[in-house]
Every structure is written in structure tokens, then in C-alpha cells.
A and B are shown apart, each in its own frame.
Chain A
């Protein structure tokens, strides 16, 4: 058996941990993450029944961190699904039909690529209403050109293959070639790109929630917890530590997983996304 890349193992472990915590938080947290107990505010680490202490409303920090994992994964998943749902068909059609369609799609994606996710999210927040949905939509749309480009790049290579020429000679229809030959062969590029996009989405959502343009209170979100902690750096500096560590470990996990999958599957076309936040 081939030895797995160490990055893959480390990444899978960290991502697995975040997923596990998020799933557990659905059925159990040490305390109710949203329950306010004013007399218990600013308990330190290990303060009685609170392992990581409590925040400015006396809410259990650990429970909120666990609930925040849910929010983080939700945002990552939805943004990647939006980007794939819109980007993959555009990229596949551009690779299949070539010509003016490809030219227009690629030029348009170049322009869209100039809008950083957070900038787009701020524009959306100003025009529509700030919130989780607006943030997810904006980050997802900002990733669309990235997926369109990698799918087109990989698709162009697939279209050169003999089996595609053979399928065409048989008179296979366009959609059949795209579905049967093109898409399965761009799968590995897509998986790696999705993993890296997931990490960038986590960073972007955290930054937006920190600014108050992402997940609204009282829902626990790591970015929002950091922005709340900033007012209490004197009383309780550790409150600024835990959510940041949670973000960093999740992003590290997805980045490592992406690197490891790339080593394992060896697609060369994955695009680097700018780290944001």
C-alpha cells in the first residue's frame, strides 16, 4: 500500500476533529451556548464548572466554541457548493464548446476574480442585508471564477484525449461527453480546489463576522466571539485566544488536507487563492 502524505494525515485529523466537535455540539455541549448567567461573567479558565471560563454574559466559552464549529462548517460548505454549482458548468461548457462562449466566460471570470471575497461581501452587505446568507453568497460568488478556470483548464486536457474523440465519432451528444468523460476526470482537481477554498472561506467569514457583517448574534461564531473579546482585553485576555486558535486550527487543517490531497491525486492546475482576513 502506498504511504499516505503526512500532510494528508495531519489535515484529515484536524478537519475530522472540527467535524466531530460540530456534530457532538448538535446533541451535547457542557452548557447551553446561548444561556446568559450574568453573575458568572468573566470566570477564568477552570472557573468552577467552566473549563475555558465564561464570556461577558456569563456564557460558557467552550460550549460557544463547539457551537461555533457548526457555523464555520456550514459557511464553508455552502460557499463551496455555490462556487461549484456555478463554476463547474461554466468551466465545463467553456472547455467543451470553446470559441466565443469560452472567450466570454473566461474574460468575465477574470473581471470577477478582481473582486476579493470580503470586498464583494461588504458591497452585498451594504445593498442587501448583512447576515450569514449574504456573506455566504458573496464569498461563494467570489470563488466561482476560480472553479470555472480550473475546470476549464482540466477540461481542455480531457477533450484532447482519444476516448473523447472516439466518443465524438460514435456521435455521442455534447452533454453525454461532458457528464460521462469530462466531469469525472476533473474530479481530483475539484476536490483539492474545494478543500483550499474551504479554508479561505473560513478566514473570510471570520473576518466578516468580526466586522459584524457575518453571522448575527446570538448565534455563536468564532469571528464574532473575537470581536466581542476585544472590549474586554483587560479583564479577560484569554477570551481573545480560544476563538482565534479554533479558526487557525481549522484553516490549517483544510490547508494541510488540500496539500495532502494534491500530493496524493497530483492535479497540477489548482489555483492559489489569496489568504483573506
Chain B
């Protein structure tokens, strides 16, 4: 078990290194260079040279990579060229919006998908199961940002129950802050729930066909008892895998939905930095989000071992 975890950990670190090189190379592959792009129409040879020097662009590529990667490991994410503020604290501040948004959306997704997925799976031959299944198929096709737009039209524009956009800081008015996260979290959570419902449903259908469930039923347990004692844990393994993939999708969905509701989170920061070509912030954020995806994959891998003793002993 320890050896297996150590191997996965080495693989995680290697992936992080390769991913960081990829991000760094893409940003620095630019025809011309970062300084020219940043200065835009103001670029004169002197300006470019001065900015190149202040950004350290006159140093060799490998040295700059080491400085960037090493700095991130120490919590130094560099300085935004546009706002002249350090990127690290900026990201931390944006996390106070994006973090709660993602958690709330994930909670909504699980709260909706687990019961509907289980019911749709257990009753898959009945009408109610088919209806839930069709609903979830429709839900997968809906872009989260459109769901957000529709929710904003109904609950903000027509009914005026929630704000259609904007954010008041937690320290100023915690209730108002929470209220402005409701619609985006529901939009994001419901679309996620549709995807998860389908996977939970098929996992439950599959597990019901297993021999051990038939044996349990033959011993006199009801369908529900058999599922509770033997089914759910087994059905959880494929669901955990998809949960890992869906966290990526949650992250991406949050980037877009923050822009629908003008929430000052990481997604909004990324979008604005892309528009302003603030490449250092873009480079940091893309690396950070990719690191989150890799870390989640690693945790998913570990959780198999906790859920399934067969994988534990096999390793």
C-alpha cells in the first residue's frame, strides 16, 4: 500500500513538472515576446528593452523557468504587470469567491444526483426511472452558462429574489455575499447533477446484476436491503472516477459562470487577464488550475484503494 501510494506520488510530481514546462513554453513561445505583446501599440525598442529587463526576459529561458517554478513553490507567484500587485495574494483573495461557489455547486450536485441517480437506477424498468433518465440526458446538453442566464431571467429579472450579478464582499455583508452565490451555484450544480445522475444510475443498474446481490436477495433481503448492505459500496467505485472528471468540469464551469454573474473570482480574473494579456497572471492561473486537476486525479486514485479492498491487496 505505502509503495503504491509513493509510486503515485512520484507520478504526480512528475506530471506537475511536465505540465508546468508545457504552460511555460506555450506562454514563452510567442512570436516576438511577452514584453512586446504587453506594450502593444506603445512598443518602442527602448520601452521593450526596459520592460524585458524588469521582467527578467533578458535571462536565459531555463533560468526564468526555474525562477517561476521555484517561486511558486515558495508561494511567490510573481507580480501582475497590469495592476502591479503580487499575484499570490490576488489569487487568495479571489479564492474567497470561487472556493465557496465551487463547494456550494458540488454540494447541490451531490444532493440532487445521489437520490435521483439511485431511484433512476433501482426503478430503471419503470416509468419514473425512465423519466429521471431522460431529464438527466437533457440536462447534460444544457451549457451551465445558459442555465445561469435562464435562472437570472426568472429569479433576478422577473421575480427579483436574487441579484443578477455582482458581489458584495463577505466582510461587508455576508448575507448579500451568500445571496449572490446562490444562482450561479444552482446553475453549475444542476448541470453537474445531470451528468452524475447518469453515472450513478448506470452503476446501480450494473451492480444489481451482480451475483452477490442475487445471493443476498435469495437469502431473503429486500432489494433495498441488499443494495444497502452490498450494493452501494460497489457502485461507488465507478462513480468516484467520474466524480474526479466532473471536478474538472466544475472548475471550467465556474470560470464561465463567474463571468455570467460578474463574480470577482478566479474565473473572472483569468478572463480579464486573458483580455488584458497579463500573461504572468494567465500563466499562474492555468498552472494552478491544472495542478488542482492533477491533485484531484491523485486523490481519486487513492480513494479506490480505500473503497475497494481488492485493489488494495492487489497492489
Contacts and interface: CB of A to CB of B under 8 A. Distances in A.
Interface stretch (B39-47, B76-84, B219-227, B243-251): B243-251
A126 interface: yes
A234 interface: yes
Contact of B252 (A108, A110, A119, A124): A119
Given A118-B256, A229-B149, A237 B157 contact: yes
B146 A116 contact: no
Nearest to B14: A107
Contact of B249 (A130, A211, A275): A275
A226 B271 CA distance: 17
Contacts of B253: 276-277
A210 B256 contact: yes
Interface in A213-233: 213, 226, 229-230, 233
A112 B19 CA distance: 7
B142 interface: yes
B143 A122 contact: no
Interface residues of B, number: 54
A234 B164 CA distance: 11
A244 B157 contact: no
Interface stretch (A57-65, A66-74, A249-257): A249-257
Contacts of A230: 149, 152, 260
B273 interface: yes
A249 B29 CA distance: 39
B277 interface: yes
Contacts of B252: 116-119, 207, 274, 276-277
Interface in A46-97: none
Given A111-B15, A114-B297, A123-B286, A226 B157 contact: no
A247 B140 contact: no
B271 A274 contact: no
Given A126-B282, A233-B152, A110 B140 contact: no
B146 A226 contact: yes
A125 interface: yes
Contact of A240 (B149, B248, B275, B282): B149
Contacts, number: 150
Contacts of B145: 206-207, 210, 226, 277
A40 to B, nearest CB: 23
B134 to A, nearest CB: 10
Task: Give the interface SS of chain A, mostly helix, strand, loop or mixed.
Answer: helix
B282 A123 contact: yes
B233 to A, nearest CB: 22
Contacts of A234: 157
B124 to A, nearest CB: 15
Contacts of B293: 114-116
Interface string A189-220: 00000000001000100110011110000000
Interface of A: 107-108, 110-112, 114-119, 122-128, 130, 199, 203, 206-207, 210-213, 226, 229-230, 233-234, 237, 240-241, 244, 247-252, 255-256, 272, 274-277
Top 7 nearest A-B pairs (CB, nearest first) are: A274-B249, A244-B146, A252-B141, A251-B141, A277-B143, A126-B274, A126-B282
Interface of B: 14-15, 18-19, 22-23, 26-27, 29-30, 137-138, 140-146, 149-150, 152-153, 157-158, 164, 191, 195, 242, 245-246, 248-249, 251-253, 255-256, 259-260, 270-271, 273-275, 277, 279, 282, 286, 289-290, 293-294, 297
16 contacts: A124-B26, A126-B27, A126-B279, A126-B282, A127-B279, A199-B141, A210-B256, A211-B271, A241-B150, A248-B138, A248-B141, A255-B140, A274-B246, A275-B191, A277-B145, A277-B256
